[in-house]
Chains A and B, each alone.
Chain A
Amino acid sequence: MTALAWLESTSMAQTISGSLPLTASFSAIHLLGYTLVLGGALVMHLRLVGAMLQRTAVRDVVRTAGYLIAIGLGVSVVTGSLLFTGRATSIAANGLFQTKMSVLLIAAAWQLGVHYRLARATSQSKQSASVLGFVGLALWLGLAVTACAFILLE
């Protein structure tokens, strides 16, 4: 028996996959977490690009965005993992899920790098901030698109 098959056979996984209210509740909370992540990431990167909150210090926006993304990711990862246990074997083999997870890891690593760079920076050129902003926007919106594709097309 593989690890994924064992995971699916646990009583917790069977309770979740066999209960529509539980699955629906976890899915709804997962979507709320995703909203927090996207809201934090969008505002932070749009600020870096210079499309909003131009007169607010980048450091202030980055700090708040960091909290929102961390809380949102925590909520999404916990609920996503619980939902995953019910259909672990089929979901792990799904190409769209693998793409979603790859983009998530890259976006999270990027976010962490940018967060520490901007938190320590004393000054930042407009051009390099824009580049950081555009790459971050592409990554987080890419995650949103692959997540929607996984939910709707699997």
Chain B
Amino acid sequence: MTLLEICEWLETTALAIAIQESLYGFALLVGAHILGMAVSVGILLWMDLRLVGVALLSRPLTEVYRSLAPWFIAGFGVMLLCIGVVFTGFWSFLITAHAFAQVYRLSSYPKR
């Protein structure tokens, strides 16, 4: 079974059909994806500012990391989960799109 065939099969699952046919499902998932990204990157930025010595200097690095990590990991998880669900409905289109096609070609090398 090729990668493209797996993607085409994924598009026939109940979840994929629900995303393709839902009026607001796509917008809600993409919205949650954007929010998850903004939360994870926005909070991770504080960690980077601490690392370069610009902010939160009064506390040790490990303490700052332990305090921020659950939040940016949760944001990253939401972002990944939502886009994974969205992609289920459009895998064969995405896999043949330019940026994804590069990964697909690499993954099928040297068969093609």
B37 at the interface (CB under 8 A from A): yes
Which residue of chain A is the closest to B24 with respect to CB atoms? A153
Instruction: Say yes or no: A38 contacts B31, CB within 8 Å.
Output: no
Interface of B is mostly: helix
A144 to B42, CA, bound (A): 13
Contact of A36 (CB < 8 Å), options: B42, B55, B71: B42
Chain B binder among A11-19, A48-56, A111-119: A48-56
B56 at the interface (CB under 8 A from A): yes
Instruction: Say yes or no: A56 contacts B59, CB within 8 Å.
Output: yes
In the complex, number of A-B residue pairs with CB atoms less than 8 Å apart:
78
**Distance in Å: Cβ of B44 to nearest Cβ of chain A:** 8
**Which residues A41-84 have CB closer than 8 A to chain B?**
42-43, 46, 52-57, 60-61, 64, 68
Interface of A is mostly: helix
Instruction: Say yes or no: B41 contacts A153, CB within 8 Å.
Output: no
Which residue of chain B is the closest to A67 with respect to CB atoms? B55
Chain A interface residue count: which class? 20 to 34
Which residue of chain A is the closest to B68 with respect to CB atoms? A52
Instruction: Say yes or no: B64 contacts A39, CB within 8 Å.
Output: no
**Number of residues from B at the complex interface, CB < 8 A:** 27
Residues of B within 8 A of A149 (CB): 27, 31
A55 to B54, CA, bound (A): 18
Contact of B58 (CB < 8 Å), options: A34, A56, A68: A56
Instruction: Say yes or no: A46 contacts B71, CB within 8 Å.
Output: yes
Listed A/B pairs (23) with beta-carbon separation below 8 Å = A31-B34, A35-B37, A35-B38, A36-B42, A38-B38, A38-B39, A39-B44, A43-B43, A53-B56, A53-B59, A53-B64, A53-B67, A53-B68, A54-B67, A56-B59, A56-B64, A60-B58, A64-B54, A64-B56, A145-B35, A148-B27, A148-B31, A149-B27
